[in-house]
Amino acid sequence: MANLLSYVLFLALRTFAAPPEWPGRSTSDPRDSGNDTVGPSLVPPPGTSKHAPHSIIIGVRKGGTRALLEMLDIHPGVAAAATEVHFFDWDENYAKGFEWYQDQMPYSYPNQITVEKTPGYFTSPVAPARIHAMNSSIRLLLILRDPTERVISDYTQVYFNRLENHKPVQAIENMLVKNGALNTRYKAIQRSLYDVHMRNWLQHFPLEQIHIVDGDTLIHDPLPELQRVERFLDLPPRIMASNFYFNQTKGFYCIRSDGQERCLHESKGRPHPPVNSTVLRQLRLYLRQHNRNFYRLIGRTFNWQ
């Protein structure tokens, strides 16, 4: 009995004497806090604090924002917010105030920059002014892909989400066409009118503060795009070709970092449904002029059909 009591006392003392354990990488690595959420019983690494983001990935939905954030998070100087905060585009969150917003950010070290991603900001009519009110000199990242392909990807995501939630679904042609004509009020099409949304942003920020990432190039050759982002954010070059490998099964690049390999969630890169060729041609034709308007706004072109 005496031995049993001694053993119980030993376990109790060891439990209460142990310091709180921080999940993830070793605390000697300044990237510890980049992807971890601190629960109420956990103590953040010494020397870290939460800050408003130095840069925000503002969109576009289904443009490659998750891939961009995951790849950028390879950099040891980046602390990435784990979830989409929707502070500037959702009134109910904006009403919670700036302190609430900052509390959603990850813990970071003084030599790190904080990056948040919410794709809904780009198409929000109120987000540009609200972000400008917080920080008029913030650097914004905008990743875009072929707007026609983005529409189909948008539909695909909603389609699978509805299937998973046992809700009825419609063929993509039924969404794209209404009363015999292209349904230009369809939200997926509205989100691909890059020129319309960009004009709103340029009313509040100079083009020099908005770095546009080519989402189609990022998928096929990620390193050059990420090196441009490093320069835009004044980060020292740390992301290398060895941080990526092509996954033949998934059909896109995955990440190799800290001795581990990881790919994007299985919901990313889903195959698109076939689209009626006449409907697809109508969609491309409608978006073509908007693409040209967008090119004039930003002073560059893309290989969009």
Which residues are documented as binding site for 3'-phosphoadenylyl sulfate?
62-66, 145, 153, 253, 268-272
pLDDT of res. 157: 94
Burial of 74 (0-12, 13-18, 19+ CB in 10 A): buried
Question: What percentage of residues in the chain have a pLDDT greater than 90?
Answer: 79
Sheet with 244-247, side-by-side order of all strands: 244-247, 252-257, 260-262
The two three-digit tokens of residue 291, written as one number: 């693409």
CA distance to 35, 165, 176, 257, 271, per residue, from 267 (Å): 20, 15, 23, 22, 10
pLDDT of residue 42: 67
Q: What distance lies between CA 154 and its chain's CA centroid?
A: 15
pLDDT of amino acid 165 = 96
What pLDDT, in 10s, does the model give residues 164-183? 999 999 999 999 999 999 99
Q: Amino acid identity, residue 48?
A: T
Is 62 considered catalytic here? yes
Whether 100 shows a pLDDT value over 70: the answer reads: yes
Which residues lie below 8 Å from residue 93, measured CB to CB, with a gap of 6+? Answer: 85, 86, 87, 100, 101
Model confidence band, residue 151 (pLDDT cutoffs 50, 70, 90): very high
Confidence of residue 252 (pLDDT cuts 50, 70, 90): confident
* Distance of alpha carbon 70 from the chain centroid: 8
Identify the band that residue 9 occupies on the pLDDT scale cut at 50, 70 and 90.
very low
Most confident among 5-14, 19-28, 200-209 (mean pLDDT): 200-209
pLDDT exceeding 70 applies to what percent of the chain? 85
The mean per-residue pLDDT over the stretch 24-29 comes to 34
Distance CA 291, CA 305 (A): 9
Mean pLDDT within 23-40: 36
Closest CA to 105 of 93, 96, 117: 117
Angle made by CA atoms 200, 80, 28, in degrees to the nearest 5: 155
The pTM of this model reads: 0.85
Q: For the chain, what is the mean pLDDT?
A: 87
Q: Using 50, 70 and 90 to split pLDDT, how confident is the model at 267? A: low
Span 244-263, mean pLDDT? 89
Query: Among all chains, which residue has been given the structure tokens 């891939």?
Result: 67
Q: What is the pLDDT of residue 158?
A: 95
pLDDT at 43: 83
Q: Which of 12-26, 216-230, 259-273 has the highest mean pLDDT?
A: 216-230
**Per annotation, catalytic residue among 50, 62, 178, 250:** 62
Least confident segment among 40-44, 228-232, 295-299: 40-44
The stretch 125-140 carries a mean pLDDT of 98
Q: Which residues are known binding-site members?
A: 62-66, 145, 153, 253, 268-272
Q: Which of 159, 146, 160, 123 is nearest to 217 (CA)?
A: 146
Half-sphere exposure of 30 (CA within 13 A, CB side): 14
Which two structure tokens, joined as six digits, stand for 138?
Answer: 């913030």
User: Is the Cα dihedral 33, 36, 38, 42 positive or negative?
Assistant: negative
Domains and CATH numbers, the chain: 49-298 (3.40.50.300)
